[in-house]
Amino acid sequence: MQRLLAEGLGTTFLLATVIGSGIMGETLADGNAAIALLGNTIPTGAILVVLITIFGPISGAHFNPAVTLAFFLKRDISFYEAGGFIIVQIIGGILGVWAAHLMFAEDVLQISMKMRSGPAQGFSELVASFGLLIVIFGGIRHKPDAIPVLVGLYITAAYWFTASTSFANPAVTIARMWSDTFAGIAPASAPLFIAMQLIGAVLAVAATKPLFFDTH
């Protein structure tokens, strides 16, 4: 139960930050999209460092079904616990979106109209998710104590080097469908993102053994 609570609460705070900083950034940017994105990027990277630091020792701080899938494929987590993690990640993410709406006096229940479609967006999500898992497993292999900072910095960078702004997380994608704000994604765009995120995770698992764990 403690591990599930850590995953759910961590994902709640992650999405509250993603959506809330997007609203704040867009409000203060006065139409400058680059400033708005920067205002969304920095808090997201920062909160990941915080959340992974405090919840990592409890649950591993996945906050992400793609990460949970990767650890399941590596047999580091059971099928039933992985399923529980994914459920609370999705629920926590949606609760975080609603919390952000309440904090900024937005309608709590929304559906995003922001289309994010096309091959470039899909490929961006594959690359973002693949890279995220490579960073995590590389950190585990070489410098476990640095994982919070590594993940926070990677996501901060990936916001800017991917066309999709690096969702890299199916729970984040599902939750962001429920916000018609700066960081939202239209439901019609979500399946492509989720599929590419999961493919990226599977490819990363395949790559980690020869990269980090093959001693020959």
pLDDT tens column, 181-210:
999 999 999 999 999 999 999 999 999 988
- pLDDT at residue 199, as a whole number: 98
- pLDDT at residue 72, as a whole number: 97
Span 40-61, average pLDDT: 98
pLDDT confidence of 22, banded at 50, 70, 90? very high
d(CA 146, CA 125) in angstroms, rounded, equals: 24
- Give residue-wise pLDDT tens across range 118-177: 999 999 999 999 999 999 999 999 999 999 999 999 999 999 999 999 999 999 999 999
Report how far apart the first and last C-alpha atoms of the chain are (Å, whole number): 40
Class of domain 2-213: mainly alpha
Do 194 and 170 contact (CB within 8 A), yes or no?
A: yes
- Residue 175 has, within 13 A of its CA and on its CB side, a CA count of 37
Is the pLDDT reported for residue 45 higher than 60? yes
DSSP, collapsed to helix, strand or coil, labels residue 175 as helix
Average pLDDT taken over every residue of the chain: 96
d(CA 178, CA 175) in angstroms, rounded, equals: 6
Is the pLDDT reported for residue 216 higher than 60? no
- pLDDT at residue 215, as a whole number: 57
Predicted TM-score of the model (pTM): 0.95
- Give residue-wise pLDDT tens across range 87-126: 999 999 999 999 999 999 999 999 999 999 999 999 999 9
d(CA 43, CA 168) in angstroms, rounded, equals: 16
Which two structure tokens, joined as six digits, stand for 1?
């139960």
Is the pLDDT reported for residue 83 higher than 80? yes
Q: What does each C-alpha distance from 118 to 89, 122, 197, 198 come to in angstroms?
A: 26, 6, 15, 17
